[in-house]
Amino acid sequence: MAQKPSIPKGTRDFTPVEMAKRNFIFDTIRNVFRLYGFQPIETPAMENLSTLLGKYGEEGDKLLFRILNSGDFLSGIPSELDGTTDSAGLSGYISEKGLRYDLTVPFARFVVQHRNEITFPFKRYQIQPVWRADRPQKGRYREFYQCDVDVIGSDSLLNEAELVKIIDDVFRRLNIRTVVKINNRKVLAGISEIIGQTDRLTDITVAIDKMEKIGLEKVSEELLVKGISDEAIGRLKPILLLGGSTAVKLDKLTNILSDSEAGLKGVAELRTLFSYIESFGLSEMAELDLTLARGLNYYTGAIFEVKAIDMSIGSICGGGRYDDLTGIFGMPGVSGVGISFGAERIYDVLDHLGLFPSESLESPRALFVNFGTKEEAYILPILTTLRKKGINVEIYPEADKMKKQFNYANRKNIPYVVLAGEAEISANMLTVKDMASGDQKMVSVEELTKVLSVD
């Protein structure tokens, strides 16, 4: 019996039109990654739950999609759990694998597992889907792609600088105007230190991270609730509000943090990074933002976040330096730095601003109308010639009504339609019609090749 087909909530099909747009984004990002010497890896969709659990906090563990063990999965349940209603407790016995939740943990696992095969500093990129059992809502999906790029095994700040350059390169190619906000977790640690709250760094960063969303006053309230003293908050506020150019801010910070070794190290790192950025001619798009904190605990140095200037949508790229990502898998002390591009949000920005190119690599350049066997025999070798030159072309597969064939070209957004009837065949020519302008002319195969070639 026929079912009405559907897909799981929070997941999506992508039609050719959407795929062309998505591939425009992925191809752009991938090409830039390659230009800077990064190479791809892929990891399995499924990881052992022992790899995933405990890496994303309690909330993250709940959002993992778990795979039911194959075969007789009930046989693994110990008898004392008979009749249990504790789903969470039981799931460990009937499920050993989960779907990838992000690309960072699998990457750390990969580096440790393949440490003898890979070359350090290891520059890798990874573009793959991840899955989260989040409540689906506008712009949030249960299956979505991440585009990560990382250098692991090098402390040099040139890596940070090149990542900023990559950000600039990607968004320039996508025509999205952006600002890169930059901060350093050592500076945040220094600030916690000089306001006398060294051991409260996490609470402070988690609160500061909400600055843009809820404002300084609400952040102060949250800090107060968390037991940070009025006095400490009073000393924190002016630092977060520091004004002036990057150079001026860095000078002020040097004074403020003069008693914090970590803080001064962070300032020195920022100076080096911003001097690279200046030499790249990117001072305009990069900005020191002391309120940038990024919630994730594993960051230890520079942190980045990218905003689109012409659309308010949250960050479209972000990342930072981490000093011990692989420690959880038994390989401590390896420093790395990386960023992740938010393909879904970038899609929304391009869509909203009308920045997707009208044509794509995925579209045929021309449809050849099919008039029947004789005309087919004339056309087929011409198709071969064009395809050998790398031009995407197709022939309508049957001699349907002209109108139907033109409709097909229109709906598929094919820019040219080519016709070859008796007149064309006897003249060894073709008629090519520009679907946008409606212009048509008779041309030779050579001339047609020129018309259809993409610059």
CB of 47 or CB of 289, closer to a second copy: 47
**In the set 25, 66, 181, 257, which binds a second copy (CB under 8 A)?**
66
Provide, rounded to whole angstroms, the least separation between the CB of residue 283 and a second copy.
15
CB of 60 or CB of 314, closer to a second copy: 60
Residues 308-327 that bind a second copy (CB under 8 A): 327
Residues 133-192 that bind a second copy (CB under 8 A): 133, 142-143, 151, 154-156, 158-159, 162, 165, 169
Contact 159, 301 (CB under 8 A): no
What number of other Cβ atoms are within 10 A of residue 217's Cβ? 9
Asked if 385 touches a second copy (CB under 8 A), the answer is: no
Q: Give the helix/strand (H/E) hosting 263.
A: helix 261-279
- Residue 25: partners with Cβ closer than 8 Å, 6 or more residues away: 174, 343, 346, 347, 350
**In the set 174, 369, 391, 430, which binds a second copy (CB under 8 A)?**
391
Contact 162, 360 (CB under 8 A): no
CB of 163 or CB of 189, closer to a second copy: 163
Q: Which residue has the tokens 């977790």?
A: 185
Asked if 48 touches a second copy (CB under 8 A), the answer is: yes
Asked if 35 touches a second copy (CB under 8 A), the answer is: yes
67-75, 210-218, 249-257, 418-426 -> range binding a second copy (CB under 8 A): 67-75
71-79, 178-186, 210-218, 230-238 -> range binding a second copy (CB under 8 A): 71-79
238-246, 303-311, 408-416, 438-446 -> range binding a second copy (CB under 8 A): 408-416
CB of 162 or CB of 289, closer to a second copy: 162
CB of 121 or CB of 421, closer to a second copy: 121
**In the set 150, 269, 376, 424, which binds a second copy (CB under 8 A)?**
376
Taking the C-alpha atoms of residue 159 and residue 154, their distance in angstroms, rounded to an integer, is 8
Asked if 394 touches a second copy (CB under 8 A), the answer is: yes
Asked if 335 touches a second copy (CB under 8 A), the answer is: no
Q: Which residue has the tokens 């440490």?
A: 115
Asked if 382 touches a second copy (CB under 8 A), the answer is: no
Contact 153, 335 (CB under 8 A): yes
**In the set 205, 240, 258, 280, which binds a second copy (CB under 8 A)?**
280
Tokens of 255: 């004074």
Tokens of 115: 């440490």
Asked if 16 touches a second copy (CB under 8 A), the answer is: yes
User: SS3 for 109?
Assistant: helix
Asked if 20 touches a second copy (CB under 8 A), the answer is: yes
Picking from 307, 83, 347, 142, the residue whose alpha carbon sits closest to that of residue 213 is 307
Taking the C-alpha atoms of residue 423 and residue 418, their distance in angstroms, rounded to an integer, is 13
Asked if 39 touches a second copy (CB under 8 A), the answer is: yes
Asked if 58 touches a second copy (CB under 8 A), the answer is: no
Provide, rounded to whole angstroms, the least separation between the CB of residue 192 and a second copy.
28
- Residue 429: partners with Cβ closer than 8 Å, 6 or more residues away: 442, 443, 444
Asked if 283 touches a second copy (CB under 8 A), the answer is: no
Residues 354-373 that bind a second copy (CB under 8 A): 361-364, 367, 370
Provide, rounded to whole angstroms, the least separation between the CB of residue 369 and a second copy.
13
Asked if 96 touches a second copy (CB under 8 A), the answer is: yes
Q: Which residue has the tokens 């990559």?
A: 166
- Residue 194: partners with Cβ closer than 8 Å, 6 or more residues away: 235, 256, 257, 259, 260, 263
Taking the C-alpha atoms of residue 337 and residue 299, their distance in angstroms, rounded to an integer, is 9
Tokens of 48: 């052992």
Taking the C-alpha atoms of residue 352 and residue 435, their distance in angstroms, rounded to an integer, is 26
